[in-house]
Amino acid sequence: MAGIIDTIKLAGTLVFALPAAMAGIGLLNGDQPLFGGALIGLAIGLVVIQHWLTMPTDIPEILAQRVVGTVTKEPDAEPEPDDER
């Protein structure tokens, strides 16, 4: 389920990043290459920050994953009894 939520978050970020990148590409070819490069950098930065930044709303999800991982650990294998004859 976390994969679906991450995909929706990425789509929301791309709503803002893609227009900025497209405008930046247009300005690179035009008369303002410095401003175009800044817009492309902004678009890349938005996606990278969204991927790596932990928001306060993400903390309960992270804690829940740690608790589930702790609770559902597989038990250690029991040693097999030695056959002493």
CA-based torsion, 57, 63, 64, 69: positive or negative: positive
Contact by Cβ (8 Å): 39, 20: yes
Residue 53: the pLDDT is 77
pLDDT tens digits, one per residue of 48-69: 998 887 677 777 777 777 777 6
Distance CA(38)–CA(16), nearest Å, equals 15
Q: What is the DSSP letter of 1?
A: -
Distance CA(72)–CA(20), nearest Å, equals 44
Mean pLDDT, range 23-49, rounded to an integer: 93
Q: What is the pTM of this model?
A: 0.61
Distance CA(19)–CA(39), nearest Å, equals 9
Instruction: For residue 59, give both structure tokens.
Output: 């903390």
